[in-house]
Amino acid sequence: MNPIKSLLKTILLKPLYNILVFLMWAIPGHSVGWAIILLTILVRVLLLPTSLKAARLQKKLQDIAPDLAALREKHKDDKKAQAQAVFDLHKQHGINPAGSCVLNLVQIPIVFILYYVFRIGLTTARFDLLYSFTPHLNQFNTHFFGIDLLQPDKIMLPLIVALSQFAFVQVMPTVSSGDDETAKLFQWQFKYIFPIMFAFIAAKLPAALPLYLVTSNAFGIAQQIYVNRTTAPVVSAVTAAVALPAPSATEVLAKPTQVIEKKGVKVTVRKKS
């Protein structure tokens, strides 16, 4: 076996599969649906330190987006200076964009392993994956609120998947790219087209997988709302400049002046405050 596959099987596939089987055994009625929901929540809780850090980094990027747009416009004719200015801005605020990507990439193998666990764990008995202390189930309840989780659900779950994905995107930070039309188009597609695509995909998968997606999205929405409310905003220089009130006429006139007379010429100089 491929060493990477063997490692993933040992540290992810077998533990998650055994937890799923144990949950189905422990839940009254051996409900597959509730076991999937509990396993999904458990995995998201274990990933919470990583996902919270990635979410906070993304929130900071959203806050300094006006500064980034201003720097790109200022150095639009000098890509090297532009890259250096952006790097300096990120360093100033302690932001590592690559770190956010890495933190999100860490979660991808776990998502695929969960997909595999739900796919093989509910259709065939993989006793070779069970630990010696894991109870064996002869039968379990695959129906969840009238939906057979082993069969594709064409309407209800795909619709809930689309709505939950749409709601999740709404609470996520949006990093503005100024006048970059390509980026704006992608953001629009991400908000409105991707949820529809997820719904069509969910309609072709066993209903256990859309149930996992809905649970994961619900957890993600709650997590992002928490991040949005608890992460201190970074005030960008552009935003701060716009927020500064213009001095009133009274304040301007009230500034001290100095009169200088030289060779018959009188000059009034307004002192800096």
Please state the domain extents for the chain: 3-270
From CA 245, how far away is CA 193, in angstroms rounded? 41
Confidence at residue 103, expressed as pLDDT on a 0 to 100 scale: 61
Q: pLDDT of 222-257, one tens digit each?
A: 999 998 888 777 665 555 554 445 555 555 445 555
The SS3 of residue 263 is coil
Query: Which residue did the predictor score with more confidence, 257 or 200?
Result: 200
Residue with tokens 């992810």: 12
Query: Which residue did the predictor score with more confidence, 240 or 210?
Result: 210
Confidence at residue 22, expressed as pLDDT on a 0 to 100 scale: 92
Confidence at residue 147, expressed as pLDDT on a 0 to 100 scale: 92
12 pLDDT above the threshold of 50: yes
Q: What is the DSSP letter of 152?
A: B
Helix ranges (H only) for the chain are 3-8, 14-26, 32-46, 48-63, 65-74, 79-92, 97-121, 156-171, 181-202, 208-230, 237-243, 249-254
Going by C-beta distance under 8 Å and a sequence separation of 6 or more, which residues neighbour residue 110? 12, 43, 47
Query: Which residue did the predictor score with more confidence, 129 or 226?
Result: 226
Confidence at residue 237, expressed as pLDDT on a 0 to 100 scale: 57
The SS3 of residue 241 is helix
The angle at the Cα of 101, spanning 97 to 104, to the nearest 5 degrees, equals 140
From CA 60, how far away is CA 66, in angstroms rounded? 12
Q: pLDDT of 45-62, one tens digit each?
A: 988 888 888 888 888 888
From CA 93, how far away is CA 233, in angstroms rounded? 11
pTM, rounded to two decimals: 0.75
113 pLDDT tier (thresholds 50, 70, 90): confident
Least confident of 73-77, 140-144, 155-159, 208-212: 73-77
Confidence at residue 244, expressed as pLDDT on a 0 to 100 scale: 47
The SS3 of residue 172 is coil
Question: In the chain, pLDDT over 70 holds for what percent of residues?
Answer: 77
The SS3 of residue 257 is strand
